[in-house]
Amino acid sequence: MKTVPALRAYAITWAALLALLALTFALAHLRLGAFNAVASLVIAAVKAALVALFFMHLRRGRALLVLFALVAPFALAILFALSGADYITREVHPAPWAAPHGR
Amino acid sequence: MSAAPREIDAGARGELDPRAWRAETASLGMWVFLATELMFFGGLFLAYLYLRTHDPEGVAAASVHTHEWLGTINTAILLTSSFAMALAVHAAKQARRKAAQRLLVVTAAFGLAFLAVKGIEYGLEWRDGLVPGLHFTLAQNTRTATLFFFLYFVATGIHAVHLAIGVLTVLWIAWRLRAAALPDWRVDEIDVLGLYWHFVDAIWIFLYPLFYLVNLNA
Amino acid sequence: MSYLEEGFTLRSWLTTRDHKRIGILYAVAITVFFFLGGAAAAIIRLELLTPQGDLVSADTYNKLFTIHGVVMVWFFLIPSIPSTLGNFLLPMMIGAREVAFPRLNIVSWYIYVLGATFTVGAVIAGGVDTGWTFYTPLSTLFSNTHVVAAVMGVFIVGFSSILTGLNFIVTVHRMRAPGMTWFRMPLFVWANYATSLILVLATPVLAMTLLLLAAERLLHVGIFDPALGGDPLLFQHLFWFYSHPAVYIMVLPAMGVVSEIITCFARKRIFGYKFMCYAILGIAGFGFLVWGHHMFVSGQSAYAGMVFSMLSFMVAVPSAIKVFNWTATLYKGSIELTAPMLYALGFVGLFTIGGMTGLYLAAIALDVHLTDTYFVIAHFHYIMVGGSVMAYLGGIHFWWPKITGRLYSEAWGRVAAITIFAGFNLTFFPQYLLGFLGMPRRYHSYPPEFQLLNVLSSAGAAVLAVGYLLPLVYLGWSLFLGKRAPPNPWQARGLEWKTASPPPKENFHETPEVDAVPYAYDPEEKLA
């Protein structure tokens, strides 16, 4: 990688990361209901992707490296999805003496 | 690695440049290690997902007790440390030893700043009685709040341990760089250390919204 | 000069970076643990001779089956083939001099020893009684035994697994000799590669789970505690997300060994080589999707149960493909019933039985009746003992001349193999019947009508014990008094047989170049 374009790429990435941080912080103060959580996670994913692509050089990495970088998130997705399949389809019968809703 | 480069990976594509081979092999090794680290944190994320989906109001109520300004400042610090680390790796690849050394020290300094702020936060949380199992005095919303802070301390604590190990390693390599030479294998070491550092940053990028940004709009 | 002659001091062994010596260090360590776990099993089988719980107390019995499970799973089976035969052979089979990260390799052995120390410490300090599965809330809130020490031992040894897996993955990707393309690699390498993928992806989840368990136990606060709104099933999801793929860690390398042995002693190319490769990857991949079949009656939702049940049926398919292909390899082969071959054939039969009973358990309606009974115990012992342990022993015998430079007594080898086969079936087949009849697991007493089958099982265990002790004797004897082995006593194919027995430190004097398909055997050619 040539010097100047590389340094510029890093600096732009850093600036973008800080901008996204400001954005996510600001959005969190707005009342957006369920969208708050979605927005904050999407922004986090974008930030992580920027770190991976530019700081960790995945953008010019070999296909194998990209594959390795994606395998663990994929395995976690399986963990969340199938455990989630249990949680969203479970019928919960709160015991009569339990306080309402987990407090 | 002890294998002579002549013999390797030529089965696949005849790539025989020892320098490139070494660097890519080290990189592959670190990416595999980072995959294991992501799986390690993954269990915590599932536990968090469980709690957040089972009692969203409870989690929202508990999360107001985190210090979002300190968390946000810390996120900025860590992102900047990654910038410094990327510059350090770049300098090393260009054989600019002194520049690499200075940038590594800057990286470590930002890392230490993060840990210092974290320490202050933990101190405030102890003062406020938010440490489950040791000193937890929150009056209302105790069940979910207990679990929320349990996960908070475990997640940020393990993250902090990873960061501390990173800081120590960065300082150690910066120290070793005071010698005149910057051999190829040292450049590879700095490269993979950079990968580790950025990964620790990426984990924090997710921990931050999960623990600090849950309920700022009440 | 062979790798064995590069230094005779203990220090030269304890500071080695030679993958071959590290394989031997692991072999010694896991053998010690095999007999420790076996001793626990011996006491269990003695207790179960009579219906009353009269040999040991219920608490002691709980500690015995716990330590049997913990030791056999984590300190014997998981490292067995990968860390011993895998470490020794994998670089040689791809024509490499070493693994990618030799220093990490010896560090992984020391981590194993450290983890083992914690676990042995837990045993000596009084044991653990939660079962090897450490289910909450027993392990976190109620057990009065040394749970944290035991769990720390397992946590630590997990990193040994992770480092071994990491090393193998990078080695296979980056260190193959010229001409050694992926589809020219022996199936043993494919199997250990796929196993390594599981090692690196699944083990860290166990590590976090055990950490959370220890934290909950120490702080009396945690995410598995229902009184706090936590979920005991969260523990089970996290635990089994690792522990189901773990069983494939235990069986895939065994399948790799079996492929090597069967091709050699049928003098025939493996049937369907590419399908075998895809089946290996399929088992590893699918193995991540089925963990909920351990939780059908735990309170998991019935709908999730159905999904896991269906996926569990599907995971049997690649295994079945492998069994068909081994059988087709044997067909019209020129079969030689050497000791390794006896073990490999035993594997194929016993793994098939064990695998099919897994399908019974995958059917939720049957599992409701059979879960937590001796049926489950018989099922997994057919696979792990009738399968993996036999394949491990087969591999040890097959590569013994290569590793030690000595020939063992083939007659005694066959005697031991047949003794083990007979003892194994006598021990574990009655347990299928006991489970079907309703005898629960993890109880030290049982209704008197189950006694006959239990006595048969314990008698079988005695025979099995003799069978396992025999190799210690004749293999040990061969180390000092056995005939010297030629480079290729079995006329096998594979790069490891092209070098001396035992090999030189750098494995090959010249880098091999590969231009042949794997398993280029010819049934017309008889073993000399």
Residue in B7, B32, B41 nearest the CB of C166: B32
Model pLDDT, residue A100? 52
For residues A34 and A73, state if they share a domain: no
pLDDT at C478 over 70: yes
User: CA nearest A91 in C: which residue?
Assistant: C301
* Residue C201 in contact with partner chain B when CB distance is under 8 A: yes
Identify whether A81 is part of a domain: yes
CB contact under 8 A, C234 and B44: no
Q: Are C261 and C394 in contact (CB under 8 A)?
A: yes
* Residue B204 in contact with partner chain A when CB distance is under 8 A: no
For residues A49 and A80, state if they share a domain: no
For residues A51 and A66, state if they share a domain: no
Identify whether A27 is part of a domain: yes
For residues A35 and A67, state if they share a domain: no
* Residue C366 in contact with partner chain B when CB distance is under 8 A: no
Which domain does A24 fall in, by range? Answer: 1-56
* Residue C301 in contact with partner chain B when CB distance is under 8 A: no
Residue in B35, B76, B94 nearest the CB of A71: B35
Tell me which chain A residues have a C-beta less than 8 angstroms from the C-beta of B87. Answer: 7, 10
CB contact under 8 A, B12 and C176: yes
Q: Predicted confidence band at C208 (pLDDT cuts at 50, 70, 90)?
A: very high
Over its C-alpha atoms, chain B yields an Rg (Å, rounded) of 21
Residue in B42, B51, B146 nearest the CB of C205: B42
Q: From residue C142, how far is each of B1, C129, C207, C404 by CA, in Å?
A: 48, 11, 22, 49
Q: Predicted confidence band at B8 (pLDDT cuts at 50, 70, 90)?
A: very low
Identify whether A9 is part of a domain: yes
CATH code given to domain B36-212? 1.20.120.80
Model pLDDT, residue B15? 54
Model pLDDT, residue B118? 97
Which neighbouring-strand residues pair with C484? Answer: C406
Model pLDDT, residue C135? 96
Q: Kindly write down the DSSP assignment for every residue of C444-509, as one continuous string.
A: S---GGGHHHHHHHHHHHHHHHHHHHHHHHHHHHHHHHSPBPPS-TT---SGGGGS-SSPBTTS-S
Q: Predicted confidence band at C520 (pLDDT cuts at 50, 70, 90)?
A: confident
Residue in A18, A24, A83 nearest the CB of B213: A24
pLDDT tens digits for C421-446? 999 999 999 999 999 999 999 999 99
CB contact under 8 A, A78 and C289: yes
Show contacts of B4-10: CB within 8 Å, 24+ apart: B4/C97, B6/C511, B7/C95, B7/C96, B7/C97, B7/C175, B7/C177, B7/C178, B7/C511, B8/C96, B8/C174, B8/C175, B8/C176, B8/C177, B9/C173, B9/C174, B9/C175, B9/C176, B10/C177, B10/C178, B10/C179
CA C418, distance to chain mean position in Å, is: 20
pLDDT at A92 over 90: no
* Residue A48 in contact with partner chain B when CB distance is under 8 A: yes
* Residue C467 in contact with partner chain B when CB distance is under 8 A: no
Q: Number of C-alpha atoms within 13 angstroms, CB side, residue A11?
A: 6
- Please state the CATH superfamily assignment of the domain spanning residues C3-498 in this structure: Cytochrome c oxidase-like, subunit I domain (1.20.210.10)
Over its C-alpha atoms, chain C yields an Rg (Å, rounded) of 22
pLDDT tens digits for C1-37? 899 999 999 999 999 999 999 999 999 999 999 999 9
For residues A45 and A80, state if they share a domain: no
Average pLDDT over residues C290-313: 96
Tell me which chain B residues have a C-beta less than 8 angstroms from the C-beta of C186. Answer: none
For residues A66 and A85, state if they share a domain: yes
Chains near A (3 or more Cβ pairs under 8 Å)? B, C
For residues A24 and A69, state if they share a domain: no
How many CB atoms neighbour CB C498 within 10 A? Answer: 16
* Residue A20 in contact with partner chain B when CB distance is under 8 A: no
* Residue A90 in contact with partner chain C when CB distance is under 8 A: yes
Q: Predicted confidence band at A97 (pLDDT cuts at 50, 70, 90)?
A: low
Identify whether A99 is part of a domain: no
pLDDT tens digits for A16-54? 999 999 999 999 999 888 899 999 999 999 999 999 999
For residues A12 and A43, state if they share a domain: yes
Identify whether A103 is part of a domain: no
Mean pLDDT of chain C: 95
User: CA nearest A17 in B: which residue?
Assistant: B79
CB contact under 8 A, B53 and A72: no
Percent of chain B at pLDDT exceeding 70:
92
**Which of A86, A88, A90, A97 should one mutate to test binding to chain C, selecting the residue with the greatest count of C CBs within 10 A?**
A86
Model ipTM? 0.94
pLDDT at C44 over 80: yes
Model pLDDT, residue C178? 87
Identify whether A22 is part of a domain: yes
CB contact under 8 A, A44 and B55: no
Of B109, B78, B83, B103, the closest CA to residue B91 belongs to B103
Question: How many domains would you assign to chain A?
Answer: 2
* Residue B216 in contact with partner chain A when CB distance is under 8 A: yes
Chains near B (3 or more Cβ pairs under 8 Å)? A, C
Model pLDDT, residue C516? 82
| Residue at B94: amino acid letter | Q
Model pLDDT, residue C526? 60
pLDDT tens digits for C148-202? 999 999 999 999 999 999 999 999 999 998 889 999 999 999 999 999 999 999 9
A95 contacts: CB under 8 Å, gap ≥ 6: none
pLDDT at A103 over 70: no
For residues A9 and A44, state if they share a domain: yes
pLDDT at B47 over 50: yes
Read off the DSSP letter of residue A94: -
CB contact under 8 A, C300 and A86: yes
* Residue B42 in contact with partner chain A when CB distance is under 8 A: yes
pLDDT at C103 over 50: yes
**Which of C166, C168, C182 should one mutate to test binding to chain B, selecting the residue with the greatest count of B CBs within 10 A?**
C166
CB contact under 8 A, A72 and B68: no
pTM for this entry? 0.95
User: CA nearest B55 in C: which residue?
Assistant: C229
Sign of CA dihedral B71, B73, B78, B82: positive
For residues A42 and A20, state if they share a domain: yes
User: CA nearest A36 in B: which residue?
Assistant: B214
Q: Predicted confidence band at C206 (pLDDT cuts at 50, 70, 90)?
A: very high
pLDDT tens digits for B56-73? 999 999 999 999 999 999
Q: Predicted confidence band at C527 (pLDDT cuts at 50, 70, 90)?
A: low
Q: Kindly write down the DSSP assignment for every residue of C97-154, as one continuous string.
A: SS-S-HHHHHHHHHHHHHHHHHHHHHHHTT---STTTT-TTIIIII--S-HHHHHHHH
Mean pLDDT of chain B: 90
**Which of C228, C241, C293 should one mutate to test binding to chain A, selecting the residue with the greatest count of A CBs within 10 A?**
C241
Place of tokens 């708050």: A36
pLDDT at B184 over 60: yes
User: CA nearest C214 in B: which residue?
Assistant: B154
Phi-psi region of C179 (alpha: psi -120 to 50; beta: other; left: phi over 0): left
Average pLDDT over residues C140-148: 93
For residues A6 and A39, state if they share a domain: yes
* DSSP H or E segment with residue B135: strand B135-136
Average pLDDT over residues C447-474: 97
* DSSP H or E segment with residue B131: strand B130-131
Average pLDDT over residues C284-297: 97
Residue in C96, C211, C222 nearest the CB of B8: C96
pLDDT tens digits for A51-79? 999 999 999 888 899 999 999 999 999 99
User: CA nearest A29 in B: which residue?
Assistant: B217
Q: Which of residues 59-98 of A touch B (CB under 8 A)?
A: 62, 64-65, 68-69, 71-73, 75-76, 79-80, 83-84, 87
Of C273, C210, C204, the closest CA to residue C245 belongs to C204
CB contact under 8 A, C200 and B35: yes
For residues A52 and A74, state if they share a domain: no
CB contact under 8 A, C288 and A89: no
User: CA nearest C223 in B: which residue?
Assistant: B147
* Residue A91 in contact with partner chain C when CB distance is under 8 A: yes
